């Protein structure tokens, strides 16, 4: 793609300017006078084609923030993007069958050190792989294989499976159901095949945000989710339904709950939700109770500022479906000890950043630029 196209697409999706914060009376709000600018960059793929059919859903970023790995689900192929040169530097095929299989279900992919990857294919596979597609370590465990797990369940351990930074521990959830009265985090020493569970009582309410309509011919469902992520050598456990956060320090074996005094948004969704419905109209009514409340994303880490950030979205009701979905977008900042520093609504933004990450103090967000892989790059000033 010609260099002249590098900056044309952002006007279609994003605008920039000074936001108005609903908590301006809070003099301690670091983001009170936030302003930002946005540029768009396009990856130089040379003569190669990167299939963007599925967006960046299955992508991952290396821990040193030098490489963006874009997974092509149709071809089971990782496209390696150099984020400094902004160019495609390699394509790495993987197998869906045979001894090096990554499984057939859409995977979650995590970049590990030394150009290796963790692939998690729901209900099918958990394993680490080299960049050449060779399977390194099989982590596909049955619940009954792990000694010490306080979980009465059959099948494979794949739900939100993720490795600690030192790869000593595998973390995951058992099956989660709206009727459950407990959420358990599984901590598994994969070399010893031993494990234990930790109860997460604050996460139980997330399970209530679930609506299902099911017939022999049709299934419809919507739910909030609980996520596991590794940041700064700790495990963060977040809910899309509220701001509360658990941090498990697996080096010190300590669990801490964080609650934040947010003022620009409600810190928790209201949970008067009917989980099972009998027809489509009832499903749409109950689903709207979830969809039109604020939804919180995972935490982000800005290595330059040594701060955490988090984005939230709130869907805007719109009867004109031709206009597409629009959202109110909120940004929160926290110090390295997870003390809330500031919050604001990004009033000029109506779509949430896609697969965002911080690099060199700037927020990168995946964008499709006329079928070329690109990034919207946000520069914040506060």
pLDDT, tens only, 208-267: 999 999 988 899 999 999 999 999 999 999 999 999 999 999 999 999 999 999 999 999
- Contact between 171 and 164 under an 8 Å Cβ cutoff? The reply is yes
> What global pTM score does this model have?
0.91
Q: What is the dihedral of CA 188, 190, 192, 194, to 10 degrees?
A: 20
* Cα(345)–Cα(262) distance, integer angstroms: 12
Model pLDDT, residue 308: 98
Q: What percent of the chain has pLDDT over 90?
A: 85
Contacts of 266 (CB under 8 A, 6+ apart): 293, 294
* pLDDT > 70: percent of the chain: 92
Top-tier CATH class for 3-381: mainly beta
pLDDT at 18: 35
Confidence of residue 166 (pLDDT cuts 50, 70, 90): very high
């Amino acid at each position: 793609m010609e260099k002249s196209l590098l900056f044309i697409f952002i006007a279609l999706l994003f605008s920039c300017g000074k936001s108005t914060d609903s908590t301006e009376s809070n003099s301690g709000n670091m983001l009170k006078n936030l302003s930002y600018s946005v540029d768009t960059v396009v990856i130089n793929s040379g003569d190669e084609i990167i299939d963007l059919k599925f967006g960046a859903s299955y992508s991952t970023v290396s821990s040193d923030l030098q490489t963006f790995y874009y997974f092509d689900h149709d071809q089971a192929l990782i496209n390696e993007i150099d984020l400094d040169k902004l160019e495609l530097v390699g394509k790495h095929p993987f197998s869906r069958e045979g001894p090096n299989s990554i499984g057939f279900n859409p995977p979650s992919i995590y970049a590990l050190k030394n150009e290796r990857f963790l692939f998690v294919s729901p209900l099918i596979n958990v394993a680490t792989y080299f960049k050449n597609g060779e399977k390194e370590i099989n982590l596909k465990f049955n619940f009954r294989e792990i000694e010490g797990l306080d979980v009465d369940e059959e099948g494979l351990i794949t739900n939100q499976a993720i490795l600690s930074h030192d790869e000593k521990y595998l973390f995951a959830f058992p099956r989660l159901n709206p009727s459950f009265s407990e959420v358990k985090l599984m901590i598994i020493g994969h070399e010893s095949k031993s494990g234990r569970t930790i109860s997460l009582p604050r996460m139980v309410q997330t399970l209530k945000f679930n609506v299902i309509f099911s017939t022999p011919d049709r299934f419809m469902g919507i739910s909030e989710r609980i996520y596991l992520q590794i940041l700064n050598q700790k495990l963060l456990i977040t809910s899309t339904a509220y701001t509360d956060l658990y941090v498990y320090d697996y080096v010190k074996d300590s669990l801490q709950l964080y609650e934040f005094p947010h003022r620009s948004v409600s810190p928790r969704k209201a949970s008067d939700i009917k989980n099972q419905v009998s027809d489509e109209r009832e499903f749409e009514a109950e689903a709207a109770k979830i969809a039109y409340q604020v939804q919180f994303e995972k935490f982000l880490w800005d290595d330059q500022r040594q701060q955490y950030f988090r984005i939230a979205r709130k869907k805007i009701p719109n009867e004109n479906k031709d206009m597409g979905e629009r959202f109110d977008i909120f940004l929160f900042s926290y110090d390295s000890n997870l003390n809330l520093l500031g919050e604001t609504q990004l009033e000029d933004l109506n779509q949430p950043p896609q697969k965002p990450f911080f690099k060199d103090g700037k927020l990168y967000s995946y964008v499709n630029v006329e079928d070329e892989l690109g990034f919207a790059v946000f520069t914040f000033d506060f």
